[in-house]
Structure 1
Amino acid sequence: MGIGPQGLDARLPGAQDVLEPFRTLMAQADTRIELARACLMIARDAYPELDMAYYLGQIERFGMRLRAQVGQRGVEEKVIALNEFMFGELGFAGNFDAYYDPRNSYLNEVIDRRTGIPISLSILYIELGRRIGLPLEGVSFPGHFLVRLRLRGGMLVLDAFAGGAPQSEDDLRERIERVVPKGAAGGIPLESLPLEQFLEPASHRQILARVLRNLKSIYRDADEPAQLLKVLNRILVVTPDASAELRDRGLLYQRLECWQPALADLAAYVERAPDAPDGEDVRLQLMALRAQCARMN
């Protein structure tokens, strides 16, 4: 598997200590969770020497420059100024050429390289917008993370991956039709579904879970078990009740020959989800794990 010494460290109980600051942050009320800080904590799994103070300061410096330009403009003018500043002056842009590069999901790399994917660019967009009084919110739209801004009498939906471009109703419905399978709405035609149900604001925990699940998919497909384990550890801090993530971590521990943690995770999974479709398969895995652990005693 080619895990290497750094990967082996991820198996050790002491490796959990790096999660303590993240757990402390996640224990706060959702609206008090600082998205940028949480994202930089996630990035430390790939960049252990990352200087969080530098990157948080960089965001503050961006915000100060933007505030100086915006002054007392109205809401629409602030959105235009934000787009011109972030995507014009600073040069941020969507990474169309290497969409699945994991660096697109790490906020330090997004800031350094001035490129990212919809959710990482949206997080920075939201952070900068709030510094000029724009109460921007993330939207876990199907297949493509977006940003919304409530206006008097309506809502503005923006795509940070496309330079903050406003999204029309036709744009949004076209996105839905591209990614939502026909028949998924119980026989209701997709064009009849109210857009509002797809435009609910994402909580900070939901945003972070989506960032982490993107990384999970990338590291799973790249067969990088050490990084995948770090991502799963953080997902389970953000969403501790996510049974499927607990199962996946247990199976990964089993692959890494970490028998006791694998046994604990998979036993907890079948207890939480006794009627899961894969329950019998997991119970068979548990029998094998118990036998393995017995041989080690």
Structure 2
Amino acid sequence: MTATRDLEGRARARFAELLGRDPVPLDEAALAIAQEEYPALEPEAYLTRLDELAARVVRRVPGPVRAASALRALREVLHDEEGLRGNDDDYYDPRNSFLNDVLDRRLGIPITLALVYMEVGRRAGLRLEGVGFPGHFLAKYVSPGGVEVFVDAYHGGEMLSADECVARYKARTGGKDLDARYLAAVSPRQLLARMLQNLKRVYAERKDDVRLFWVLDRILLVTPDQREALRDRGLAAARLGGAAAAIRDLEAYLSLAPAAGDAEEVRAAVAGLRAGRGALLN
């Protein structure tokens, strides 16, 4: 497989189509990401699984949906019964970032576990939003009166107040103040971008350029103005033997950031590719 392989594959086309919807359906988009790794994946089977989990939550909540009882029911079904939990033993296993694997293995990282809570909650009539808490993604429910309840899906669906979130951040950082913006809800695009950034780190660390390339490509679909991803996709393409694709991305990066700190190195890489020498950045 090379970087010049068909970028308009089924999984990519599906992901791009879903990004064009308003709002972006997180469940389907997450499964479209996973389809690049699992071409035979059948999204409907996992969407049905989420429907069934939500039906179990609803059965536990008598009468009209009340937030407190629905949050408890959500935790009982997903953590107590299903055993959904954080993968402490192998946190950087890429399978922790694929929604199908999280549902099958019942293991994940904070962001994918939060996504399950959000999607099951939505189906059960409980609106949860993603929160880009530093180093530990959360979900939250906001009452009509503005009261916020944060859900830590990685730790068994534990429910926290905003003050408790701040206290935990301070304890972890030696007393640093937490910017209140980190307790705000993120958009579906921001959530998907963070999921993909997690995968990017994993594949970069493993030097898996084939997978790194497609993840960077998806990041650029979500955030087209991310210059570093454009540069990194070009470098990955070069390492995979796709000189034309590499030159295109690297020259686009230079046109956007001609004075970047690494601009001279990137120009040298482009010159090397044009000369057929393959001079690359690490």
Q: Is TM (by shorter chain) over 0.5?
A: yes
SS in 1 for 2:89: coil
2:265 maps to 1:281: yes
* Corresponding residue pairs, total: 273
- Per the alignment, residue 178 of structure 1 pairs with 172
Structure 1's 197 and 173: CA in aligned 2 closer, same or farther, altered over 3 A? Answer: farther
2:95 maps to 1:74: no
Q: How does 1:191-230 map to 2 (within 5 A)?
A: 191=177, 193-194=178-179, 196-230=180-214
- How far does the alpha carbon of each residue in 1:102-130 deviate from its partner, in whole angstroms, 9 at most, with x for none? 11111101001111110000000000111
- Per the alignment, residue 292 of structure 1 pairs with 276
Q: Percent identity?
A: 40
Paired residues of 1:70 and 1:132 also in contact (CA < 8 A) = no
2:35 maps to 1:44: yes
Match of 1:88 among 64, 80, 86: 80
Runs of 5+ in structure 2 lacking a partner? 278-282
Question: More deviation in 96-105 or 57-66?
Answer: 57-66
Match of 1:249 among 219, 228, 233: 233
Q: CA RMSD in A?
A: 1.8
Runs of 5+ in structure 1 lacking a partner? 1-7, 183-188
SS in 1 for 2:136: coil
- How far does the alpha carbon of each residue in 1:144-172 deviate from its partner, in whole angstroms, 9 at most, with x for none? 10111112242111100011112242443
Cα distance in 1 for residues equivalent to 2:239 and 2:170? 37
SS in 2 for 1:190: coil
TM-score when scaled to structure 1?
A: 0.87
2:145 maps to 1:161: no
Cα distance in 1 for residues equivalent to 2:221 and 2:108? 24
Cα distance in 2 for residues equivalent to 1:214 and 1:177? 24
- Which amino acid is 1:272 matched to? L
Paired residues of 1:39 and 1:107 also in contact (CA < 8 A) = yes
- Per the alignment, residue 280 of structure 2 pairs with none
SS in 1 for 2:215: helix
Structure 1's 265 and 153: CA in aligned 2 closer, same or farther, altered over 3 A? Answer: closer
Match of 1:99 among 87, 91, 102: 91
Match of 1:53 among 19, 44, 48: 44
SS in 2 for 1:97: coil
- Runs of 4+ aligned residues of structure 1 deviating over 4 Å after TM superposition are none
Paired residues of 1:67 and 1:131 also in contact (CA < 8 A) = no
- Which amino acid is 1:112 matched to? D
Cα distance in 2 for residues equivalent to 1:98 and 1:14? 32
SS in 1 for 2:21: coil
